[in-house]
Amino acid sequence: MARLPLVTHRRDIDVCIIYGQSIFELYQQIQNLLQREAPDLASFFAEPLVNAVRGEVTWNTRASGIPRLAADLSPEQWSQINQRLMRYRESMSQLISKLERASRGNATGPETLRGMLMTPDLRQSLFLVGDELVLTQWGCKKYGSDAQSADLFEQIERPLQPAAPPSHTSAEGPPAPLGLPPLLPPSPPSDIPASTPTSAARDPLPSPQPWPSEPPPPEVEPTTIVVKHPNPLWRWLVLLLLLILLVIGILWKYWQSHDWGSEARLRAEVAELLQQVEKKALGCGLQPSVIQDGTPPRDPASPAAPLSEAPVPPVSVTNEDFRERQNENRINPNSKVNVSLAWNDRADLDLLVKQPDGQLVYFKPCDSATCGTLDIDANRCPPSTACSDLRERPLENISWRGEMQRGRYQVLVGLWSINRPATEIRPVPFTVQVTKDGKSTAYQGEFRSEDMACTDLCYVAPRRITEFTIE
């Protein structure tokens, strides 16, 4: 992942809001959609990294190469870029139309794609990285302007205006590198005497003198300017509030990573013990209900009791069940690290691992030589496709067989589709198991019905479950 030479200040832009949510928060969801439905656009939108404390947005891209700003390109290069942008326009229009036909009244997906097709200034937001076009400041407009002036494709059709010399170039000589001042200042005309070392020592910042050919500046009547200094108290109050929120966030993260993980491990161990006791009870001829709840088995001749309407509790996946599924899918148990995801449903869950260098290991191949491998992608069912190989006991696994990077690895789980009509939506519990150096640790999770957003699919954006460290 490479960082582009651009920092966007939040005070200068308005960010598009989709149904009460910032469009930047929907980036990963839209990125997954583009990788499946329009691969040619998968690298077009840069990834925004928001620094809420400093009020800045930086931009990352997976494209490799030296980034060049569109404003610095020649008219011939700009003409070629326009042709590629028109092809992107056609791909986006087709994808939006497809989503509108399949959304059945829920327009979150189409509205998000339309909102991304805005930028304050195309020539100052578009980069050519190697052979890839990368757009920054998408989904934004200048503060106080309307959305029409920020429309991406209307800016393409406008006549090309000569760009002002960028701040990183000098008036004379070759352009300086991006972000660096010129090595030497421009030489003055020959009739202007150069400063002597003694005068430079006395006055390190001499005031600029007008050229002899320029007329003297007109006399201006002095004006008294009154500067009112704002009260700095409100700034301290804002900083204090941000500090309190930061401390609360750190404490919340610490509590989640310790208390929740310990409870999940205890539940997994209890479930495994209950399963072993039940198997031994069946071998002794006892009914399972005697072991589980202490009630005697029901007489077959008695009428059946009415079904309870209480929700079914999440079904845990035990270590033994994990081993059975890994054997069925031929997962190598001797890998250096195995991260497994298992659930008992026909839904399509996705397992992701973020490496220390920021690379993401999931269904798309990873670029680094030390990346892990997704051994199996279970229950994948593209929209409008009759899937016949959906499993009730699916498993996904990411493994590392060779050298691994040192640092922290984050494990995430997302829900791509429930693989059933939206009217049949229901919770999907799952279990994540991390096996490192032969030791396994399990973590429980669940995607609730109220967490799911439904357009053409019912999905949940990936969320962090746990993390582990390689020393």
Instruction: Convert the pLDDT of each residue in 15-52 to its tens digit.
Output: 888 888 888 988 988 888 888 888 888 889 999 999 98
**In contact, 115 and 22? CB cutoff 8 Å:** no
pLDDT at 391: 86
* Least trusted range by pLDDT, from 62-66, 383-387, 403-407, 433-437: 383-387
pLDDT in tens, 167-208: 443 334 444 333 333 333 444 444 444 444 443 334 444 444
Most confident of 110-114, 305-309, 356-360: 356-360
CA distances from 467 to 28, 39, 399 (A): 19, 30, 15
pLDDT in tens, 385-429: 667 778 889 999 999 988 899 999 999 999 988 888 888 888 999
pLDDT at 349: 93
Q: Is the pTM of this model over 0.85?
A: no
pLDDT at 262: 54
Q: What is d(CA 126, CA 239) in angstroms, rounded to the nearest whole number?
A: 34
Structure tokens at 129: 């990285």
Q: What is d(CA 88, CA 95) in angstroms, rounded to the nearest whole number?
A: 11
Question: 374, 308, 305, 312: which is closest to 338 by C-alpha?
Answer: 374
Cβ atoms < 10 Å from Cβ of 12: 13
Classified as helix, coil or strand, 149 is helix
Beta bridge partners of 339: 398, 434
**Is pLDDT at 247 greater than 50 in this prediction?**
yes
Dihedral in degrees, nearest 10, Cα atoms 231, 235, 238, 244: -120
The position carrying tokens 């800016």 is: 155
The arithmetic mean of pLDDT across residues 76-104, rounded, is 85
**In contact, 100 and 43? CB cutoff 8 Å:** no
pLDDT at 174: 45
- Residue 231 one-letter amino acid: N
pLDDT at 266: 62
